[in-house]
Amino acid sequence: MEWKRDWNLTTRVLLTGFLLFILYLVFMTILVIFLPGISIWFIIGLAVAMAGIQYFFSDKLVLWSTHARIVAKDEYPELYASVEKLSHEADLPMPKVAIMQSPVPNAFATGRSPRHAVVACTDSILRLLNKDELEAVLAHELSHVKNRDILTMTMASFVAMIASMIMQSFFFTALFGGNNRDNGAGWILVWIASIVVYAISTLLMLALSRYREFAADRGSALMTRNPQALISALGKISGRMEVVPPEAKAKIEGANAFFIIPALSGNTLMELFSTHPPIEKRIAALERISAEIQEY
């Protein structure tokens, strides 16, 4: 079965992006109406700069935060061979390969484009999964690369970054001078609007993140032609995650959006706002894809 776009999923992604764009226009209109003296372009420029740093240095930032290191081919020849084979299947350049020392079995991909991609695994996932299951996980991560999800999420976070900066009302009041301080009512309204916009944009981004996980699962199934391997891998990883000490998961919790399954320690509010769909829904979607493949 060829790599085929899931138009139902694509429609949801496009709709989420459209809603984020409308939210951006509404928020900019509120700023212009209630704070006519504020330098809108300065705020946008600052957000663009932050998004640029996030986009161009995402691979280095994620590797640094997870303590993952780039490894040579002779250090992990079997892992390299699997990534190389799958990259060829997906018509992608060979990414860098990294290993992360952690008892949490997981994997992630990062990088601003296919030519600057990194695929990383924890050492524990290499011991947990068999060859087919590991290849299914690697194919999932390479699907993120093929779908350019880093670019998608960076663009999606733009509205939230602007709203977040506006929420720092005292900082911006001081920064833009006395005229803005005199417009106290305008600042209060904009501050309230920024909270609402930040909350809505965050929920939309979380929805977009969940959609991209479904898309990556589908990409893995089509790339390996073995969705059952990914189903088995997800079951093993989630089962093992339940017995990993919370402190081990807490160390890498900040990078959960990148992992194939989030490592939730149970000590934060992150469990209330998931970046990933429930395992049960992912498995159900993979079962449907398995039926599709069998028809061909």
d(CA 140, CA 153): 17
What is the domain extent for residue 159?
A: 7-295
Give percent of the chain above pLDDT 90.
Answer: 35
What's the structural domain count of the chain? Answer: 1
Lowest-confidence range among 33-42, 52-61, 123-132? 33-42
Strands 118-122, 107-110: parallel, antiparallel or unpaired by DSSP? antiparallel
Residue 175 is assigned to a structural domain of this protein:
yes
Distance between CA atoms of residues 55 and 62, nearest Å:
11
The answer on pLDDT for 270 being more than 80 is no
- Asked if the structure places residue 2 within a domain, the reply is no
| Element at 109 (helix H, strand E) | strand 107-110
pLDDT in tens, 152-168: 777 777 777 777 777 66
Residue 183 located in a structural domain: yes
| pLDDT tens per residue, range 84-107 | 999 998 999 999 999 999 999 999
How many angstroms separate the CA atoms of 234 and 8, rounded? Answer: 23
pLDDT of residue 271: 47
In a domain, 34, yes or no: yes
The secondary structure element, H or E, covering residue 149 is helix 149-156
The 3-class SS string of 199-241 reads: HHHHHHHHHHHHHHHHHHHHHHHHHHCCHHHHHHHHHHHHHHH
Highest-confidence range of 93-102, 187-196, 238-247, 254-263, by mean pLDDT? 93-102
Q: Note if 141 is an active site residue.
A: yes
Q: Give per-residue pLDDT as tens, 154-211.
A: 777 777 777 777 766 545 554 555 444 455 677 778 778 888 888 888 888 888 888 8
pLDDT value for 169: 55
How far is the C-alpha of 215 from the C-alpha of 140, rounded, in Å? 9
* 0.85 surpassed by pTM: no
Helix (H, G, I), strand (E, B), or coil: what is residue 39? coil
CA distance 259 to 239: 15
Q: Percent of the chain, pLDDT > 70? A: 84
84 lies in some domain? yes
Task: Note whether residue 217 is domain-resident.
Answer: yes
Confirm whether 179 is domain-assigned: yes
Of 75, 78, 89, 141, the catalytic one is 141
Residue 1 resides in a domain: no
